[in-house]
């Protein structure tokens, strides 16, 4: 059965990255969301790929909600043109709200903040606390080493092999959304022993 995806939470860098393809694909993803009438939830800032993504989605008419902490807001890092901004006292409460709003989550290239937020949702899915379709936009194979490391976890028996299907990976934004619509949750328990 197809998942109904009205709102996607996107985790991505507060920096732009080294090569232009990261910003190019952030722009394309923003356009695809608007075209498909999918609402965007993200970190709420104008910095880095987050700012590029939000600008593109807003320009194309998507509904964009920023979820930010009071500390970052006080640093004047809030994007000025959002449809909605929600402010939370801690990163923890902010992350919980982003997950609550999202029908699916996507990770684009970014740093440790991006990775941590995405991995939290994958972990919650694994423990049965949530059941969100999860996608990785693998621009220029940025996540190749991460995927290799996940395969290493499987080989070393810290992760059941079926759990690689807990995320979908694609380099094309439109195709990634299609995969999220078709996503089915992993039902295999996480414990191997």
**Which chain residues interact with ligand AMP by CB under 6 A?**
11-15, 43-45, 47, 68, 72, 77, 110-114, 117
Question: What is the smallest separation between the CB atom of 112 and ligand AMP, expressed in angstroms?
Answer: 5
Smallest separation, CB 159 to ligand AMP (Å): 23
Q: Which is nearer to ligand AMP, 45 or 63 (CB)?
A: 45
- The CA distances from residue 56 to 161, 179, 184, in Å, are 37, 22, 29
The residue nearest ligand AMP at its CB is 113
- With respect to ligand AMP, which residue has the nearer C-beta, 68 or 121? 68
3-state secondary structure the chain: CCCCCCEEEEECCCCCCCCHHHHHHHHHHHHHHHHCCCEEEECCECCHHHHHHHHHHHHCCCCEEEEEEHHHHHCCCECCCCCEEEEECCHHHHHHHHHHHCCEEEECCCCHHHHHHHHHHHHHHHCCCCCCCEEEECHHHCCHHHHHHHHHHHHCCCCCHHHHHHCEEECCHHHHHHHHHHCCCCCCCCCCC
**Min dist. Cβ of residue 91 to ligand AMP (A):** 8
- Least CB distance from residue 49 to ligand AMP, whole Å? 8
Shortest distance (Å) from residue 72 CB to ligand AMP: 4
Q: Which is nearer to ligand AMP, 7 or 15 (CB)?
A: 15
Closer to ligand AMP by CB, 50 or 160: give it. Answer: 50
Nearer to ligand AMP, 16 or 170 (CB): 16
């Amino acid at each position: 059965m197809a998942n109904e995806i009205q709102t996607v939470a996107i985790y991505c860098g507060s920096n732009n990255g080294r090569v232009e393809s990261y910003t190019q694909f952030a722009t394309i993803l923003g356009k695809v969301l608007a075209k498909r009438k999918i609402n965007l939830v993200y970190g709420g800032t104008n910095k880095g790929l987050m700012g590029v993504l939000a600008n593109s989605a807003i320009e194309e008419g998507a509904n964009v909600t920023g979820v930010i902490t009071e500390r970052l807001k006080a640093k004047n890092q809030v994007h000025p043109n959002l449809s909605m901004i929600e402010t939370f006292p801690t990163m923890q409460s902010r992350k919980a709200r982003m997950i609550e709003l999202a029908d699916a989550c996507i990770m684009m290239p970014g740093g440790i903040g991006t990775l941590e937020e995405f991995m939290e949702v994958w972990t919650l899915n694994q423990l049965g606390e949530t059941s969100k379709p999860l996608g990785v936009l693998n621009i220029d194979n940025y996540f190749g080493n991460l995927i290799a490391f996940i395969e290493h976890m499987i080989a070393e028996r810290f992760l059941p092999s079926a759990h690689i299907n807990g995320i979908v990976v694609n380099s094309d934004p439109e195709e990634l959304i299609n995969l999220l619509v078709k996503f089915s949750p992993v039902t295999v328990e996480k414990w191997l022993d």
